[in-house]
Structure 1
Amino acid sequence: MDNTIKRLPDAEFTVMKAIWHSETPVTTLVINEHLSSDISWKPQTLLTILARLTEKGFLSSERRGRERCYTPLISENEYLEIETGNFLNRYSGNSIGHLVKALCADNDLSPEDLNELRKLLAEKGSV
């Protein structure tokens, strides 16, 4: 996976989430069904976003009869790994410790959160 992938604008990310959570290949009709009810884009808006995602290499597109079908070329996990890495690099100098410290400083951690963190650290051999 190429780390030069840029962060998707919110609208494009919303469409990708709808595609990732659908059985692929997927049509625009199915994508519209998976978008939340408060999103009411015109059909051309969705087509424009899909064309951009195809240009950027996130989707492949093929015509099947009268419909165009889209398949993700990048998985949700791949994208989120890159986004998380970019966030970590940008805001905490690639230090997971600094990031966790910052998150803990301003937020009350529940006992469940603390247990989950302990488990993760134990799995990594850090505790």
Structure 2
Amino acid sequence: MEPAEGRKMTETLTYSEWMVMNALWGRDPQPLSGVIEAMGGTVAWSYRTYASYLKKLCDKGFVGFEAKGRDKFYYPLVRREDCIRAESRSLLKKVSSRSRKDLLLCMIEESGLRDEDQAELKTLIDRLGESK
């Protein structure tokens, strides 16, 4: 199941919720055990903690599930791109307009972009300059 495209996000995810969502994006609906397996032991959570995060994400409208027998098969209701956009908007709101350039520079420096990504970013920046 593919999430709806371009959904306007009003909430953001916690770090732990991002981890769970990353285990769901790009995969078929999966039971709780599949989510745990997809996370590959990156956290030392109990079974109940995983279940709690999935319930929270369902309540917030980020995740849906399909009941099949006694199992629930979880899937994302939102696209990764829309969550990234919402996080970006949230971060920009927190930073004064004077500091936005510094924020963007810091993000670029910290990201470890590959050469081809840097070239693409430069092209985008050049296009921004042309549109003025």
**Shorter-chain TM-score category?**
0.7 to 0.9
Distance 1:115 1:71, change over 3 A: closer
Aligned to 2:83, what secondary structure does the other structure show? helix
1:52 aligns with 2:56: yes
Q: Give me the TM-score of the superposition, normalised by structure 1.
A: 0.76
- d(CA) in 2 for partners of 1:27 and 1:49? 13
Q: CA deviation at 1:97?
A: 4.0
Q: Which structure is higher in RCO with an 8 Å CA cutoff and minimum separation 6?
A: 2
1:126 aligns with 2:129: yes
Runs of at least 5 residues in structure 2 that lack an aligned partner in the other structure = 1-6
Conserved? CA contact 2:58–2:64, under 8 Å: yes
Distance 1:80 1:94, change over 3 A: farther
Distance 1:55 1:114, change over 3 A: closer
Q: How many residues align?
A: 121
1:25-104 to structure 2, matched below 5 A, reads 25-93=29-97, 97-100=101-104, 102-103=105-106
Deviation by residue 1:75-110 (Cα, 9 ceiling, x = unmatched) = 11111111112112222439864533x428x77x98
Q: CA deviation at 1:36?
A: 3.2
Amino acid at match of 1:75: R
- d(CA) in 2 for partners of 1:52 and 1:44? 12
- d(CA) in 1 for partners of 2:75 and 2:43? 22
- Out of 14, 17, 25, the position equivalent to 2:22 is 17
Q: CA deviation at 1:20?
A: 0.9
Aligned to 1:33, what secondary structure does the other structure show? helix
Amino acid at match of 1:59: V
Runs of at least 5 residues in structure 1 that lack an aligned partner in the other structure = none
Amino-acid identity (%)? 26
Aligned to 1:26, what secondary structure does the other structure show? coil
Q: CA RMSD in A?
A: 2.9
Match of 1:2 in 2: 8
